[in-house]
A and B are shown apart, each in its own frame.
Chain A
Amino acid sequence: MSDQEGARKGKGGTVFVRVEVCKGCSFCIDFCPTHCLEFSHGYNKKGYHYPVLTRPEDCTGCDMCGQYCPDFAIFGVRLKDLEARQRAATPEPLIPSQP
């Protein structure tokens, strides 16, 4: 999943894929409005190809893939929401550490 994490900041979105629960139905790939997912070359443990975000610049984080996935294996998130959540999850220290 590391190559699919939100490396870009600000605009757009990214997806999180739980590779091992995917059953390779391709709903997410076929019905992503911006066609930014593709099947992996490799297989998961159950022998299915799973989706990979091959055009991350096109992903809007709309979560249509998440709404289509019958196995709850993928979801999309807007980068700005992701950053906000991450900040909330790891609050800034009140007293900044001295250099």
Chain B
Amino acid sequence: MSSEWTNAELIQQYGIENPVMPYLRQDRLPHIWCPGCGIGTTVNCFTRALSESKLNLDEVVIVSGIGCTGRVAGYMNLDSFHTTHGRAIPFATGLKLANPKLKVVVYSGDGDLSAIGGNHLVHAARRNMDLMVVCVNNFTYGMTGGQVAPTTPLGPTQTTMPYGNFETPFNLPFLADACGAVYVARWTIYHVRQLAKAMKEGLEKKGFVFIEAMSPCPTLYSRRNRLGDGVDQVKYYKERSIIRNGADTKEVGLSFQGEIVVGKFVDRERPTWLESMNEHLGRVLGDKFTPYGV
């Protein structure tokens, strides 16, 4: 075989293939992400979570917003939707409520989810909408050229903060926890096994799941701040992260190149929006009400 083999040739000759391939739209590859960008690694973890969850893939839907991470939906071999900027969560909410047997995953970036779509994030968590949200956090707006994001830590420069950022960033796990998410975890792309496991747990959990996946953006964030390549950021994740499962989310805020607390912070039970509606209307209306989506 030459060095330019395709997946099909590999299957034919060896009966094996890269285990991620069945989950990807291979006609769309290679993808557009930069060398050393971590988004592909999070996708890799997501495919492993899908394969271990044993879910019926015809009932799994992935919804993305806009941005570099927003491209994920287009590469997954699932029913997928690429929605308008920030509107992945409301779109996913509609999908879930129209067809409650679906497992709906929202996969987007920090800017899309916490800035443009911040309001939707807050309310979906408050309502405990049965969604899994994967938020790839690279501290910047990648696709639009490296503007300051609500997650950019204090200090680093961005195109719109040429003298360094002075805005206090969001602590996303704390935000999700405070709003009522039932599962909150943070991992980096150095922690591939743990990230895949968290995604698997998220797929199996009922209610609003929030997983923050820290990922390097070498092209904009790292280059502008002289942090080296993607791999140098992943080495920083390796050196400075501390696993603290069950940590108080108030204390897991991030600083520029500082310590990163990772782990599963929250795992609790709360009735989902649909469960609450059924319970409440069943009680108030009695026989006149037919429970929906059970």
Contact = CB atoms under 8 A, between A and B. Distances in A.
Interface of A: 1-2, 5, 16-21, 23-27, 30-31, 48, 63-64, 66-72, 75, 77, 81-82, 85-86, 88-90
A70 B16 contact: no
Nearest to B215: A70
A72 B192 contact: no
B40 interface: yes
Contacts of B41: 27, 67-70
A77 B16 contact: yes
Contact of A20 (B3, B14, B196): B3
Contacts of B235: 30
Given A48-B35, A86-B15, 17 more contacts: A5-B1, A16-B16, A21-B30, A23-B34, A25-B35, A25-B230, A26-B36, A27-B36, A27-B230, A67-B41, A70-B40, A70-B43, A72-B20, A75-B20, A81-B16, A85-B16, A89-B14
Given A20-B4, A21-B30, A31-B190, A70 B19 contact: no
Nearest to B20: A72
B15 A68 contact: no
A73 B249 CA distance: 36
A30 to B, nearest CB: 5
B230 A21 contact: no
A63 B19 contact: yes
B14 A85 contact: yes
Given A1-B3, A2-B1, A85-B15, A72 B29 contact: yes
Find the residue from A17, A63, A70 having the highest chain B CB count within 10 A: A70
B10 interface: yes
A67 to B, nearest CB: 4
Nearest to B23: A72
Given A1-B2, A25-B229, A89-B15, A64 B39 contact: no
Contacts of A2: 1
B31 A71 contact: yes
B190 to A, nearest CB: 7
The 4 closest A-B pairs by CB, nearest first: A70-B40, A89-B15, A23-B35, A85-B15
Contacts of B30: 21, 71
A66 B44 contact: yes
A72 B18 contact: yes
Contact of A82 (B16, B192, B193): B16
A51 B40 CA distance: 17
Contacts of A21: 29-30
10 contacts: A2-B1, A16-B10, A16-B18, A68-B41, A70-B37, A71-B30, A72-B24, A75-B18, A75-B20, A86-B14
Contacts of A81: 16
Interface in B62-118: none
A66 B143 CA distance: 26
B21 interface: yes
B45 interface: yes
B231 A30 contact: yes
A64 B194 CA distance: 12
A72 B44 contact: yes
Contacts of A72: 18, 20-21, 24, 29, 40, 44
Interface string B192-222: 1100100000000000000000000000000
